[in-house]
Structure 1
Amino acid sequence: MDWNWQVIFEHIPDLLGGAVLTAQLVAISGIVGLFFGLILAQLRLSKNWAVQALPFAYIFFFRGTPLLVQIFLIYYGLGQFEAVRNSFLWEPVLSQAYWCAIIAFTMNTSAYLAEIIRGAIQTIPVGELEAADAIGMSKWQKLTRITLPRAFGIVIPAYSNEVIFMLKGSALASTIALMDITGVARTISARTYTLMELFFAAGVVYLLLSWVILFSFRLLEKKLNRYMSYVPPDVVTRTIP
């Protein structure tokens, strides 16, 4: 099979334009999803079963159903309710495919991140928390100075994986007519009959975005966990008699 390399080079700018939209969807949903995931994780850690019930149901639903179904429920389903169509959010937000995709991605990733963060918090050594109580830290000080910094250091590798999963899942945005990388590739390949060439180029763009994300998280992980690689000089020079 002879490949039409010219069509790839001609449409690289279009694919990069779609990459900008893809990056926006992933970045916004990843950041906002982290915020809501943190709240859900704190609620899941509550000792009150009534407080745990709602976040448990939320997490169970969004982890147990396909992302495509969630996108369709938000984009097509909400419009079936007259109260939603008459609300102030309909025109600027809920009628727009862009914002519906972000809402779906955010709700989906927040459910996964909630469980990741909850697990990270539970792995923090009890001795560190007891030491914070011993020196008189308030609950807020313990949360912001001990729990969250330690948890985020543990969460970073899993969080980077979740962002990569969201990057790949963002291809589903093309199903509601968004011109992300996949949407651009589908549109151009349908017009030029060069499906293999366009989707090969789209795959390369996804790989480049994945590399940027992983490299950025690697730097962040080193910064947050730099204390773990530090060895005091007296430990290096100390000898066992």
Structure 2
Amino acid sequence: MIDFHFLIKTFWLSIRAIPVTLGITVVSLLLAVVPALIIALVRIKKIKVLSQLGSVYVSFIRGTPVVLQILVIYSLIPSLLNVVIQKTGSSFNVFELNPIIYAFIVFALNSTATLSEVFRSALKTVHKGQMEAALSIGLTKFQAFRRILFPQAFISALPNICNLTVGLIKNTSLAFMMTVKDITAVAKIEAAYGYNYIEAYLDIFVVYLIVCSVVQVLFKFTEKKFEFKGTKKTRASKTEAV
């Protein structure tokens, strides 16, 4: 029999943990943007050695389960840091660090690989003639990328960035393995007292469904907004040409 009192109570407790889940998602994505862009550009330009290293990194991260990455990083990094700190003679206890830091590291590394592929495919959708045209009017390569290529690529990348973000939000449910009190961890902790795991899992299901749905709606709105702006610019340029 389902305990509705527990179901409702745990639902609101899980709702309060949403900022932790979204915080991990946002910070991880922000940390991943620059390295992902560098990997994408290096692979597009086919720079020797760096391009191969980028491909190996992407293949390795995408080819291994997130759970395994968590287990390795959460057990390996603290131990390595502890050895280094002890050699410096510092009394700092690395094992007292907030576990959310390890969550940032794991999900940032994971997001970098996927995001680099998103950027790479999006940049390839922009015609090469755009760069040539920009250089011909006196823009530098950096200006051409910033003002012409990146804005167009960003619009193309938005649907995939949305998929990545939603996937990352769901993957953060594994952060409880690093003792981070996210949505999943809060519900599981509450369930442990009276073994109300069915109710806890129902709460987790509903909360993640709500969060992911809201994120998808926001991305859809952003896509339409950029498409509308792009349409207005196209019409304006046609009017000026006439």
TM-score w.r.t. the length of structure 2 is: 0.87
Task: Quote the offset at 1:83 in angstroms.
Answer: 4.0
Deviation at 1:181, TM superposition (A): 0.8
Residue in 1 that maps onto 2:79: 80
Displacement of 1:100: 0.4
CA distance in 1, matches of 2:219, 2:21: 18
Could you list the per-position Cα deviations for residues 116-152 of structure 1 after superposition, in whole angstroms to 9, with x for gaps in the alignment? Answer: 1011111101222221122121011101011111111
Q: 1:233 to 1:184 in 2, by over 3 A?
A: closer
Partner residue, 1:232 = 235
Residues 1:64 and 2:63 are matched in the alignment: yes
Please tell me whether the aligned partners of residues 10 and 203 of structure 2 are also in contact (alpha carbons under 8 angstroms): no
What's the C-alpha RMSD, in Å, of the aligned pairs?
2.4
- Structure 1 234/106 Cα, relative in aligned 2: closer, same or farther at 3 Å? closer
Cα separation, 1, equivalents of 2:83 and 2:151 = 42
Change (3 A) 1:158 1:91: farther
1-structure distance, mates of 2:39, 2:94 = 27
Alignment of 1:165-204 (within 5 A): 165-204=167-206
CA contact (8 A) 2:102 2:178 kept: no
User: What is the CA–CA distance in structure 2 between the aligned matches of 1:54 and 1:40, rounded to whole Å?
Assistant: 9
One-letter code aligned to 1:36: P
The one-letter amino acid paired with 1:25 is: I
**Displacement of 1:56 after TM fit?**
1.8
CA distance in 1, matches of 2:147, 2:237: 27
Give the deviation of 1:11 after TM superposition: 2.4
- Which residue identity is paired with 1:130? E
- State the AA in 2 paired with 1:24: G
Q: Which runs of 5+ in 2 are unaligned?
A: none
Please say if 1:30 is aligned against 2:29. Answer: yes
> 1:35, CA displacement in angstroms?
2.7
Residues 149-158 or 53-62, more deviating? 53-62
The percent of aligned pairs where both chains have the same amino acid is 27
Q: What is aligned with 2:42?
A: 43
SS of equivalent residue, structure 1 residue 45? helix
Alpha-carbon distance between aligned partners in 1 of 2:52 and 2:165, rounded to the nearest angstrom: 27
- Give, in angstroms, the shift of residue 214 of structure 1: 0.9
Q: Report the CA distance between 1:228 and its aligned residue.
A: 4.2
The AA in structure 2 aligned to 1:154 is S
Q: Which runs of 5+ in 1 are unaligned?
A: 236-241
Find 1:210's aligned residue among 212, 222, 233. 212
CA deviations on 1:150-196 (whole Å, 9 max, x unpaired) are: 11110000000001111111111011211111111111111122111
SS at match of 2:49: helix
- Residue deviations 1:2-56 (CA, integer Å, cap 9, x gap): 3211112222332122222111111111222223211221122223222212222
4+ aligned runs moved over 6 Å, structure 1:
none
SS in 2 for 1:232: helix
Contact 2:78 2:95 survives alignment (8 Å):
no
